[in-house]
Amino acid sequence: MESEEDSYEDIPCSTENRKPMEGLFHSHLEERVRPYIDLIDSLRLIGIEDDLALPTIAVIGDQSSGKSSVLEALSGVALPRGSGIVTRCPLELKLRKIRGGVYWRAIISYNDEYIEFDDPSLVERHVETAQNKLAGEGVGICDDLITLEIMAPDVCDLTLIDLPGIARVPVKGQPEDIGYQIKNLIRKYIERDETINLVVVPCNVDIATTEALKMAQEVDPEGKRTLAILTKPDLVDRGTERNVLDIVRNQVIPLSKGYVIVKCRGQKQIDDRISLADATRVERDFFRRHEFFSCLLYEEKATVQCLATKLTQDLVDHIKKSLPLLSEQIKKQLWDLRKDLSLCEPGPPLDPQKRKAFFIDTLTQFNDKVNRLVSGEVVNEDNLFILIRTEFKAWKNHLDGTKQSYHTTVQNVINDYDYKHRGRELPGFSDYNVFEMVVKRLVIELKVPAIDTLRVIRDIIQKQLSDVCKACFLNYPFLQCVAMNKIDNIQSKQEEKVEQRIWEQFEMEQLVYTQDGIYFKALNEMHPGEPDKPSEDNHASLDSRNKYPEMLQAYYEIVVQRLADQVPMLIRYFMLKESVQLLCSEMLALMDGANVMEVLREESDSSRHRVDMQNRVDRLTIAQEKLSNFV
């Protein structure tokens, strides 16, 4: 039999690759398993791991039996290995296949540590550091789990657990009950139903006395999830080869899953930096040339590759078994989500075409609402028309309120004029210019209150439009902001226009004009029902002097009526009718060239929640479709 060293003589010593090493699962997986793994991949996206525990492969065995070596060969990830106690904490190796990338990335996490790295050759160092931190430097062990997640394009979705080896006798520095401690720790992992237990036994020890096998049989009496691995076939004691053959053929201690014999890298090959890929070829060569074991190649009971195939099959079986339940769960989740979704406000679709239509819809709804607002419908909490009518009424009241002081002023001016300027003429025949001036002066005083009315009403209208805007664009802060700005700009522009018109109106009032007919009518109405009432006063002078204030009063009445209508009409027309027309057309103009993704960006807890749910529904629906091909 060749010595370990001999068998590698013809193999060139390649340096350990920095690029990802190929896991054996990978090459073997493709045709048969890929569809299932793809399925699980897509299901993982929907957080399927909460529902479906993917099988974990735990390796148990004596110290230095070759556990880490087997895991390493399966995963393609170089782990700390060697003599003595090397694995001192449970190490969970999560392999995650990533799509569309070529890079390798790993995260090691334990306690509060979380370290990312992208160099495969650093795995060993990081694991050692982690073990030293958790279990202390030396030979102690620790229950705390180290998780090493590896994301690479060429690994298989699989979780492997490396466990400390079973020690019989404590070495120096280890507590008396170390064996008990380790067994407890191991049991925690191997008793889980979704764990496939790999019992690792070197060819050069008596399998019947192996503690690991006993433990595995304890937690899995039927052996449904126990697979035994014989390692170090190159170190088999001469003369015991036939025994080993019998064991592998399931003839000594029968297990329902049976045995596989593998040859991993020995210490020498590690020292010589034989790559894992090369080791695979070396292993095959070893078995092919082996005097006793070569037949096992054909019986499919030898090589790591064969082991990988068996495990893969287990993985697929597990997935297959879980699918009906999974399908049920997805159906239920979908049902619940759709119910919840139907209860919340519909949001913008994600599809660009549909989103555009939704956008147009949203704008149209807004325009409809503002149009209904100006046409007198109550669309907000407060009734717009009641509010502005109240203000118009106040304006009218103000105008009426000035009549008394107007009257007094006019009277005073006439008296004053007579007193100061009267010449030979009889009292009361004063100058028209004087009266005209009084009228002009008093009417112009109405300008400021008119403008005030405008301001108050602008505020009312702007608030109402803003309320509509907020209600219509509740979840779209961007759109809301755009609309608010438009409202403000348009209102300002229109307010300026109205102010200008009011100003012009008061300029025109300086003409002191009305149609004769209107004037006489007003004059007559000064004494309704007693047009030709004879004066009780016998003083002709006084009587005619009173006629002037009456005439001026009649004219003022006409001015008041004119302004009482004119100012509200200007305001209603420009601030309400025209401004809403402008707003609507500006809003519709947003449709051209707007980035609908951006414009309809949502921002509220409820919309976030809805988008979340929508995304889950989408993912679950895809998952359901995929599942339907399998179940």
Residues that bind Mg ion (CB under 5 A): 67-68, 86-87
Stretch that binds ligand GDP, among 58-66, 98-106, 134-142, 303-311 (CB under 6 A): 58-66
Write the interaction track for ligand GDP spanning residues 411-440; mark x where CB under 6 A is met and - where it is not: ------------------------------
318 binds, among Mg ion, ligand GDP, none (CB under 5 to 8 A by kind): none
Question: Could you tell me the smallest distance in angstroms from the CB atom of residue 82 to Mg ion?
Answer: 8
549 binds, among ligand GDP, Mg ion, none (CB under 5 to 8 A by kind): none
The CA-atom distances, in angstroms, between 36 and each of 32, 121, 627, 629 are: 8, 30, 10, 11
Question: Could you tell me the smallest distance in angstroms from the CB atom of residue 85 to Mg ion?
Answer: 8
What's the number of CA atoms in the CB half-sphere (13 Å) around residue 115? Answer: 16
Strands 158-162 and 56-61: parallel
Question: Could you tell me the smallest distance in angstroms from the CB atom of residue 70 to Mg ion?
Answer: 9
Give the C-alpha separation, 228 to 90, whole Å.
Answer: 20
Question: Could you tell me the smallest distance in angstroms from the CB atom of residue 193 to Mg ion?
Answer: 24
Cβ proximity to ligand GDP: between 271 and 400 the closer is 271
Q: What angle separates helix 276-289 from helix 67-75, to the nearest 10 degrees?
A: 110
Closest residue by Cα to residue 276 from 27, 552, 598 = 27
232 binds, among ligand GDP, Mg ion, none (CB under 5 to 8 A by kind): ligand GDP
Sequence-distant (6+) residues with CB within 8 A of 284 are 297, 303, 305
303 binds, among ligand GDP, Mg ion, none (CB under 5 to 8 A by kind): none
Q: What angle separates helix 352-374 from helix 579-589, to the nearest 10 degrees?
A: 180
Give the C-alpha separation, 74 to 458, whole Å.
Answer: 77
What's the chain's length in residues?
631
CA 377 to chain centre: 38
64 makes contact with ligand GDP (CB under 6 A): yes
Q: Candidates 7, 56, 75, 87: give the one binding ligand GDP (CB under 6 A).
A: 87
Q: Site residues for ligand GDP, window 152-211 (CB under 6 A)? A: 165
Residue nearest to ligand GDP (CB): 266
The per-residue DSSP string of 551-568 comes to: HHHHHHHHHHHHHHHHHH
| Helices within 571-604 (DSSP H only) | 579-589, 596-599
Closest residue by Cα to residue 482 from 496, 471, 464, 469 = 469
Cβ proximity to Mg ion: between 167 and 261 the closer is 167
Q: What is the chain's Cα-based Rg?
A: 48
Give the C-alpha separation, 350 to 293, whole Å.
Answer: 61
Q: Candidates 20, 23, 55, 66: give the one binding ligand GDP (CB under 6 A).
A: 66
What's the number of CA atoms in the CB half-sphere (13 Å) around residue 507? Answer: 6
81 makes contact with ligand GDP (CB under 6 A): yes
Count of residues of this chain found to bind ligand GDP when the rule CB under 6 A is applied: 25
Stretch that binds ligand GDP, among 177-185, 260-268, 529-537, 614-622 (CB under 6 A): 260-268
Q: Candidates 24, 86, 306, 450: give the one binding ligand GDP (CB under 6 A).
A: 86
Cβ proximity to ligand GDP: between 199 and 567 the closer is 199
- For 41, the token pair is 């991949």
Write the interaction track for ligand GDP spanning residues 265-304; mark x where CB under 6 A is met and - where it is not: xxx--x----------------------------------
User: Residues interacting with ligand GDP, by CB under 6 A?
Assistant: 4, 61, 63-69, 81-83, 86-87, 165, 231-232, 234-235, 263-267, 270
